[in-house]
Amino acid sequence: MGRLIIWTESAFRKLDLIYGTEVRKSVAKASFTMPRAKMCNADFSRLIRSEEIVKAVRPPKKTVKTVRIHRNPLKKSALMVKLNPYAAVIKRAAILAQSKQQKMDDPLEAEIQESTKKVIATRKSSGKKVAAKK
């Protein structure tokens, strides 16, 4: 809740002297004028539809310009191919070279994976045996 303030008539007259009125400028504050209402008629919807204003205002635009979204060609491969058609060939060659390099790095990869599976299986079975004894 707000505070209750009681103003006297003399206080209002003093306010008029300090801030001025719509007709007269302020005495105490130099170059201060009271703000005025921008519109005299509050019925804006009727005003905007009046013939004088409708004639002066241009008709609304029919087409709306769409803003193109910027895409990063380094992340969007289709856009990169559109900019540089040879990019698809380069990318495919890089993928093939990488897969070839992975095969060359560890020829025993399949054997390592099989032995790892065997170790995991033996651990599981030994864990089950220990659990069954308890």
CB 53 within 8 A of CB 47: yes
Q: What percent of the chain has pLDDT over 90?
A: 32
pLDDT score, position 103: 75
Domain boundaries, the chain: 7-35, 77-133
Q: What is the pLDDT of residues 64-122, one digit of tens each?
A: 888 889 999 999 999 999 999 999 999 999 999 998 887 776 767 778 888 899 999 99
Which tokens go with 49? Answer: 């539809």
Q: What number is the average pLDDT over the span 40-52?
A: 85
- Find how far residue 80's CA is from the centre of its chain: 25
